[in-house]
């Protein structure tokens, strides 16, 4: 919602709000998969939805706030590795070796 009476909800603000809901949904689904919080992921850009990311806000060419990159879309690299590690089926292969390869 706008913070000042008369302000409209812009297309970019609406899009950022939807991106936040998607990020939050992915975060909570991560918990249902057994994935814990990753509090250090935001130190490496957007490596995980399991962090508590703040929106990335910049400035456009006119010096106005730019919220178009507020929240990442999709899973981060860390999330993908965690799912591979926790849910891969290695069949008859050496599980310890396969898990080590995921971490490499």
pLDDT of residue 7: 67
Has residue 46 got a pLDDT over 60? yes
What is the Cα 97 distance to its own chain's centre? 29
- Report the mean per-residue pLDDT for the chain: 88
Would you place residue 6 in the very low, low, confident or very high pLDDT band (cuts 50, 70, 90)?
A: low
Which DSSP letter does residue 65 get? E
Angle between helices 77-87 and 95-103 (to 10 degrees): 180
Helices (H), the chain: 11-32, 77-87, 95-103
d(CA 69, CA 58): 8
pLDDT digits (tens, 9 = 90+) for 9-23: 788 888 999 999 999
d(CA 56, CA 66): 9
pTM over 0.75: yes
pLDDT above 90: percentage of residues in the chain: 59
Residues 6+ apart with CB under 8 A from 27: 49, 50
């Amino acid at each position: 919602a706008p913070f000042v009476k008369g302000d409209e909800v812009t297309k970019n603000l609406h899009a950022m709000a939807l991106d936040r809901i998607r990020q939050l949904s992915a975060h909570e689904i991560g918990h249902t998969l057994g994935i814990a919080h990753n509090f250090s992921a935001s130190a490496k850009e957007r490596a995980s939805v399991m962090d508590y990311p703040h929106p990335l806000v910049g400035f456009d060419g006119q010096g106005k706030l730019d919220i178009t990159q507020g929240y990442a879309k999709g899973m981060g690299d860390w999330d993908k590795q965690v799912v591979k590690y926790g849910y891969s089926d290695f069949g008859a292969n050496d599980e310890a070796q396969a898990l080590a390869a995921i971490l490499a």
